A and B are shown apart, each in its own frame.
Chain A
Amino acid sequence: MQVPVSWLQDFVDLTLPVDALAEKLTFAGLEVEDIEYIGLPSAKAGSNKTLAWDREKIFVAQLVEALPHPNADRLKIVRVAYGQGAPVEMVTGAPNIRVGDAGQKVVLALEGSRLYDGHQDGRAIMTLKKSKIRGVESAAMVCSEKELGLSDEHEGILILPDDAPVGTPLADYLGDAILTVKINPNFARAQSVLGVAREVAALTGQTVRLPQTWNTHAVGAPQTAFVEIEIADAQLCQRFSALLIRNVTLKPSPFWMQQRLLRAGMRPINNIVDITNYVMLGYGKPLHAFDYDALLARANGAMPKICVRPARAGEQMQTLDGQQRTFRAHDILVADARGPVGIGGIMGGSETEVSDATKNVLLESAIFDFISIRRTTAEQKLPSEAATRFGRGIPASQNVAPARVAAELMRDLADGAIDPALADNYPAPQPSITVEITTREVARLLGITMPLAEMERILRALDFTVTPLSAEALRVAPPAYRTDVDGADDVLEELVRIYGFEKIPSTLIADALPPLEGNVALEQEEQARDILVDAGLQEIVTYAFTHPAHESQLVPLETAATAFPLPARAYVALENPISAERSVLRQTLLPNMLDIAASNLRHAKRVALFEIGSVFLTRGAGETQPGDLPEDASLPLEPRRLGIVLTGLRHESTWQSAAVELMDFYDLKGIVQELGAGLHVRDLDFVATAHPALHPGRAAELRIGAAAVGVLGELHPLTREKWALPAQAVLVAEFDLEKILAHAETRFIVRTISRYPAIVQDIALLVDENVQAARVEGLIRQTGGALLTDAHLFDVYRGEPLPPGKKSLAYTLTFQALDQVLSDADAAKARAKIVARLARQVGAELRSG
């Protein structure tokens, strides 16, 4: 909300510089987000957006005479007086000054003034210099609004009101500072210049100035001679008041009002509309002006009867923006016998709007249910200044006084005659609220001792009615213009924000600690991160949003039932997605990760990524997850997943050797094994599998014991092409992280290291191609028993001189005993046993040499 300081001063004296005042407001919870200076110097560094009007050079002045220019028809020579010395003579081309004019109040800028250049787009600053215009010397200028930075108007010069004080520096007459104030929902009362003024008054020990009659308006009767008001539902409309102003003359509103509206962010339209807006901005009460004769015409000349009621389903009306609108039962309509004439608090109908032909104005001031207003505003997409104010709540007690101010302005500025009667239906009087607050409660929650007198002082400054109950307790009632206070906590907030947060001493928590338990799942997850990072992988975090088609590029949905990571579940879809590509929550990490791999491959030769994050699965019957409350039973499951994507160089190439190998399946597998080892997960099994996203011969399922925990492998070339990845191995894995972590041993038993020497022997075994290495190693370890402390595969060989269909697996075997020196004979015996077992079970032959 924009608050011109010049307007604020109508209501309260300012005892502080603007920037100090802004800081005080901010600290009290009414945040001043920006200060825009008009014609005044800015106190803030770095934000000199506007030009300060030089007090010595730019003045309110008066046209003495306007003479023709001897050499140009369009130009004039004007003589302007500003109370110092002789009138100044200059040339102007302004079309709104005619030869023979005199007496107009204008803005005079003397040589050397800094102004905005009226002939350039935007705001370019220039310095006014003496010049000859078509042979006539001109050392000064009469200024347009654009040159002064008041608006973009540059058709003619700015003509000031007749009462503008000649000789006054313009900065004193029109200079201003505009505060942009952020109105939090608890500051509904501050949604006007008056509201901010009240806050200023409370913070600086002032009192606000209000119209004399402000607090004296009695409740009127629902029926008058000119209108009858009916309210169908007091829940929807707590009060509806109307005044009649006869014989108004529509014209532009005066300069001062236009300036205030502009500075508060609204465009002037005509005096009647401007007055309603002016009162809304100034006093916080949205009003609506009906063309009374249009209402009469709709009632065929009879007295209009206005009814505030819920819309009938499907009911329609054209609003004054020209839109035909259809309403639902929760919309509040202002209607007459013929149908709706306005959406309550949001927008009037076009048929009864004020036009140039309007003679008589029915001025509506009403209080509508703010929840309903907010709902309709959102559904009809009709945000407005009025709806915003209604949407935060306006007290019903504040309904009539602002309407009276507006009526009086219509009398003064539109020559209208106010009908003395007030039509006023007030079915639900605003409840009065009292709250008790004690010094003990202040101490309990703020940790300070605040004397009762200080509490009283603060609350009285905020217009609370205060009654001391004892030496420790007050009974307080908030002012009628506030509806946000209904408990001791609200009063406490008022106390602390005026008292000053900075005065509360900082303490460290002395209260008891809860039982400390740590968060094992998180700690293990962080451990997994560290292991993967140490293995050379970069952690990424991608969007939780995706599109089903994006995920089905990985695994076609029809096959998804069996192809982890995509279970064929209904997606958690968004009602209001930001875009089609982000319409659902992910069920797998890999598709978004592959996007990131592809984008990085534009500049990186090695991409090794992992992500740990949640996926979102529609919950099946009876499924649970840790931390569930009973009411979560229908919410999606959010399991944690680990995704890995590797592609490109194993190491960055160096100046020593440009030739570096590309990563392959075994790089990925090594990392997964490392993760298992680091987490102390035993019995990791890699079982060859078929998977629609993966290379048919290079895919494995990861198992821990009997449980499948995910897949890994090389991306199928066709899948790879869908992400436009280069023709090189792309290794991917996705695991159910919680299942892996569930098998992590936090307490593992360390193997004893033998003090006796080891015997190391190599064996090379010839086996059929289809014999898997894991099977051979398993047999070796099983047969070797406790004496065999290690079996390390150091070579796999195929080809000459081996027969086709055969391969050689070469192992280094380490034999060692815990309790004695092993003899060569013992080792040979163990070795022979292993060879015999392998021959028997997998047909292995010992290779000679």
Chain B
Amino acid sequence: MSESVHELQSRALAQLDAIWDNESVEAWRVEYIGRKGAVNALFEQIGALPKAERGAFGKAANELKNALEAAFQAKVGAIKQRALSEALEAEPLDVTLPGRQPARGHVHPTIQTLREIYKIFGEMGFQVYRTRQVETDMMNFQLLNIPPYHPARDNWSTFYVAGAEEKVLLRTHTSPGQIRAMRAGYPNPVRAILPGMCYRYEQISARYEIQFNQVEGIVVGRHITFGDLKGTLTEFARRMFGARPVRFYGDHFPFTEPSAQMDVRCIICEGKGTDPLCKYTGWLEILGSGMVHPDVLRNGGYDPNEWSGFAFGMGPERITMLKHGIQDIRYFWGNDLRFLEQF
């Protein structure tokens, strides 16, 4: 016997160490631990040994076999692992290349703001109630304390419908919805917001549009106070614009009395009066409000001596403009995708 078991093991393992491909490792297996391999050849020699040596030799050969098989398995695993690593390393991506964009649409910005308004008021128990856009003069004006040729009409430049027997017009505000909501609600209390498109005869400019949305609100109950008006609208402002001061001050609407404007502290200058957004006043006008006028309560079916209520109105486009720094109201119906896709 020219080589000891020990020498065979050293030779085989040294050889295996250098092998890194599947073909060679298979050849190695055949050579050493295959059926006709070197290890089996050792076993065949056992019979030729003196009896006393057979036990020790057999044990050594067995250990050799186990060691080589384990080394073989480890090598196969290592080769597989290395090949996988090499393959993966060979296919890197430039993670800074643009991703594939799924086609995604967007809800129109006004509608997004409307949804926010619905949600905030919805959580305060307000229902959304939509009413018609083409209205009678009676609903839009007279039942709201604005008789024909009343000076307050100066505030509402009106589109009239041609050829109608009674004066028919495009509603100039969502306030006729107050009457409709009350008539639908009587004799229950009312707590509703009334969103929708309104129309005014204006020269279209960055500030004025001939159509715009409004959200009216009306609350009627047996114990509704101006304090409730302030509390409700302050809560709305907090949800919509974050926790920032609000202020109420005198205004005039023929259908509410007393009437008040609500401002929130400017979201840019925070009250310092340094930004054109708030016209350097430090405050942003958000909505008009007031206690429902007794005549209007009566027109809605409620006895003003038993019931009281408050109403308010706001412009979702204006709110959207304030929140997103939009300078020009014409963007809303211009529907330029480059504008809409930013929302």
Given the known interface contacts A513-B189, A573-B163, the answer about A375 and B225 at a Cβ–Cβ threshold of 8 Å is no
Decide: B248 and A572 in contact? CB cutoff 8 A: no
Contact B162 A575 (CB under 8 A): yes
A582 interfacial contact with B, CB 8 Å? yes
Within 8 Å by CB of A509, from B131, B188, B232, lies: B232
Q: Which residues of B contact A607 (CB under 8 A)?
A: 337
Judged by a CB distance under 8 angstroms, whether B47 is at the interface is: no
A47: Cβ under 8 A from any B Cβ? yes
Does A608 contact B180, Cβ atoms closer than 8 Å? no
Selected contact of B134 from candidates A27, A507, A512, A638, CB within 8 Å: A638
B227 touching A506, Cβ below 8 Å:
yes
Instruction: State whether B151 touches A638 (Cβ < 8 A).
Output: no
Contact call B132/A638, Cβ cutoff below 8 A: yes
Chain A 645-663, CB within 8 Å of chain B: the 1/0 string? 0000011101110000000
Is the beta-carbon distance between B160 and A493 smaller than 8 angstroms?
A: no
Measured in the bound complex, the distance between the Cα atoms of B125 and A616 in whole Å is: 32
Find out whether the CB atom of B225 lies under 8 angstroms from the CB atom of A606. Answer: no
Shortest distance between the CB of B301 and any CB in chain A (Å): 12
Check A614 for interface membership: any CB of B closer than 8 A: yes
Residue B50 CB within 8 A of the other chain: no
Query: B159 contacts the other chain (Cβ, under 8 Å)?
Result: yes
Q: Which residues of the other chain, B, contact A371 by a CB distance below 8 angstroms?
A: 147-150
Q: Is the CB of B136 within 8 A of A507?
A: no
Known A29-B251, A538-B337, A655-B97; contact A636-B127, beta-carbon cutoff 8 A: no
Q: Are A504 and B294 in contact (CB under 8 A)?
A: no
> Within B93-138, which residues are at the interface with A (CB < 8 Å)?
97-98, 100-108, 110-111, 115, 124-125, 127-136, 138
15 interchain pairs, CB-CB under 8 A: A46-B276, A489-B257, A496-B258, A501-B248, A501-B260, A514-B191, A537-B105, A540-B335, A540-B340, A545-B210, A572-B161, A600-B337, A635-B132, A635-B134, A651-B103
Inside 8 A of A514's CB, which chain B residues have their CB? Answer: 127, 185, 188-191
* A447 with B225: CB separation less than 8 A: yes
Q: Does B291 contact A (CB under 8 A)?
A: yes
Nearest 10 A/B pairs, CB to CB: A29-B250, A447-B225, A536-B103, A447-B227, A511-B221, A184-B252, A493-B258, A506-B231, A507-B227, A533-B105
Partner of B159, one of A446, A537, A574: A574
Query: For B315, what are the chain A residues with a Cβ–Cβ distance below 8 Å?
Result: none
Beta-carbon contact of A446 and B225 below 8 Å: yes
A610 contacts across to B, CB distance below 8 A: 105
The answer to whether A44 has its CB under 8 Å from any CB of chain B is: yes
Q: Which residues of B contact A46 (CB under 8 A)?
A: 273-274, 276, 280
A510 within 8 A of B: yes
Question: Nearest Cβ in chain B — how far from A706, in angstroms?
Answer: 29
B335 lies within 8 A of A542 (CB): yes
Given that A370-B151, A541-B332, A600-B335 are contacting pairs, would A511 and B104 also be in contact in the complex, using a CB cutoff of 8 Å?
no
Cβ distance B69 to chain A, nearest Cβ, rounded Å: 41
Is A26 part of the binding interface, using a Cβ–Cβ cutoff of 8 Å?
A: yes
Chain A contributes a number of interface residues (CB within 8 A of B) equal to 108
Not counting A374-B149, A513-B191, A540-B335, a sample of 7 additional A-B residue pairs whose C-beta atoms are within 8 angstroms of each other reads A184-B252, A188-B151, A371-B149, A512-B189, A538-B105, A631-B138, A638-B133
Please report the C-alpha to C-alpha distance between residue A122 and residue B228 in the assembled complex, in whole angstroms: 51
| Set of chain A residues within 8 Å of B102, measured between Cβ atoms | 536
The answer to whether A526 touches B100, judged by C-beta atoms less than 8 angstroms apart, is no
Q: Is B201 an interface residue (CB 8 A)?
A: yes
**Contact between B98 and A505 (Cβ–Cβ < 8 Å)?**
no
Q: Is B228 within 8 A of A574, CB to CB? A: no
Q: A327 to B224, alpha carbons, bound, how many Å?
A: 50
A543 at the interface (CB under 8 A from B): yes
On whether the beta carbons of B105 and A536 are closer than 8 Å, the reply is yes
Q: Which residue of B lies closest to A517 (CB)?
A: B127
Asked whether any CB of chain B lies closer than 8 Å to the CB of A235, the reply is: no
Most chain B C-beta atoms within 10 Å of own C-beta, residue among A514, A575, A616: A514
Contacts of A510 in B (CB 8 A): 223, 228
| Smallest Cβ-Cβ distance to B290: which chain A residue | A493
Q: How far is the CA of A626 from the CA of B276 in the complex (A)?
A: 45
Does B333 make an interface contact (CB < 8 A)? Answer: yes
Report Cα–Cα, A575/B128, bound state, in Å: 32
A507 CA / B234 CA spacing, docked (Å)? 10
Asked if A187 lies at the interface with its beta carbon under 8 angstroms from chain B, I say yes
Instruction: Contact check, A540 vs B138: say whether CB atoms are below 8 A apart.
Output: no
Given contacts A370-B151, A512-B189, A519-B127, contact A496 B294 (CB under 8 A): no
Query: How many whole Å from B133's CB to the nearest CB in chain A?
Result: 6
Once the chains bind, are B134 and A616 in contact (CB under 8 Å)?
yes
Does B274 lie within 8 Å of A634, measured CB to CB? no
Query: Does B152 sit within 8 A of A, measured CB to CB?
Result: yes
Pair B162/A573 contact, Cβ less than 8 Å: yes
Q: Are A508 and B259 in contact (CB under 8 A)?
A: no
Give chain A residues whose Cβ lies under 8 Å from the Cβ of B207: none
Q: Across the interface, do A635 and B136 meet the contact criterion of CB distance under 8 Å?
A: yes
Which A residues lie within 8 Å of B111 (CB)?
529, 539, 541
> Which of chain A's residues have a CB closer than 8 A to the CB of B75?
none
- Closest chain-A Cβ to B244's Cβ sits at a distance in Å of 15
Do A516 and B225 touch across chains, with their CB atoms under 8 A apart?
A: no
* Chain A positions within 8 Å of B232 at CB level: 508-509
B222 within 8 A of A: yes
State whether A600 and B98 are in contact (beta carbons under 8 Å apart), knowing that A510-B223, A518-B127 are contacts in the complex: no
Q: What separation, in Å, do the CA atoms of A253 and B82 have in the docked complex?
A: 105
Contacts of A534 in B (CB 8 A): 105
B residues sitting closer than 8 Å to A (CB atoms) are 97-98, 100-108, 110-111, 115, 124-125, 127-136, 138, 147-152, 154-155, 159-166, 168, 170, 180, 183-185, 188-191, 197, 199, 201-202, 204, 210-211, 219, 221-228, 230-232, 234-235, 247-252, 254, 257-260, 272-274, 276, 280, 291, 293-294, 308, 332-333, 335-338, 340-341
Interface membership of chain A positions 537-578, coded 1 if the CB is closer than 8 angstroms to chain B and 0 otherwise? 111111111000000000000000000000000001111111
- Are A576 and B308 interface neighbours, CB within 8 A? no
Does A454 count as interface, using CB distance less than 8 angstroms? no
In the complex, chain A residues 515-529 whose Cβ is within 8 Å of any chain B Cβ = 515-519, 521-522, 526, 529
Contact B219 A604 (CB under 8 A): no
With A45-B273, A631-B136 as contacts: A519 and B227 at CB distance below 8 Å: no
Instruction: Please name all residues of chain A whose beta carbon is closer than 8 Å to the beta carbon of B97 when the two chains form the complex.
Output: 655
Which of A28, A535, A541 interacts with B110 by CB under 8 Å?
A541
- A384 cross-chain contacts in B, Cβ below 8 A: none
Contact among B105, B210, B272, B335 with A541 in the assembled complex (CB-CB below 8 Å):
B335
Nearest-neighbour CB distance to chain A for B20, whole angstroms, equals 35
Compute how far the CA of A489 lies from the CA of B149 in the bound complex, rounded to whole angstroms: 23
Inter-chain contact A185/B337, CB cutoff 8 Å: no
CA distance A676 to B149 in the complex (A): 50
Q: What residue of chain A has the Cβ atom nearest to residue B125's Cβ?
A: A513
Contact between B250 and A604, CB atoms less than 8 A apart = no
Instruction: State which of A392, A445, A512, A517 has its C-beta within 8 Å of the C-beta of B225.
Output: A445
Cβ of B100 and Cβ of A656 under 8 Å apart?
A: yes
In Å, the complex CA distance between A75 and B134 comes to 71
Q: Which residues of A contact B247 (CB under 8 A)?
A: 501-502
The answer to the question of A487 belonging to the interface, with a C-beta cut-off of 8 Å to chain B, is: yes
Is A629 an interface residue, CB under 8 A from the partner? yes
**Cα–Cα distance between A487 and B257 once the two chains are bound (Å):** 11
Chain B: minimal CB distance from A788 (Å): 33
User: Is A489 in contact with B280, judged by CB distance below 8 angstroms?
Assistant: no
Contacts of A537 in B (CB 8 A): 105
> B221, A519: Cβ atoms under 8 Å?
no
A650 to B293, CA, bound (A): 55
Contact B291 A445 (CB under 8 A): yes
Contact A511 B136 (CB under 8 A): no
Asked if B127 and A509 make an inter-chain contact with CB atoms under 8 angstroms apart, the answer reads: no
Which residues from 330 to 358 on chain A have a C-beta closer than 8 Å to any C-beta of chain B? none
Docked Cα-Cα span, A216 to B249, in Å, equals 37
A837-B189 Cα distance, complex, nearest whole Å: 63
Interface string of A627-642 (1 = CB under 8 A from B): 1010110111010000
A393 at the interface (CB under 8 A from B): yes
**When chains A and B are docked, how far (Å) is the Cα of A72 from the Cα of B249?**
62
| A599 close to chain B: CB less than 8 A | yes
- On chain A, the residues within 8 Å of B165 by CB distance are 634
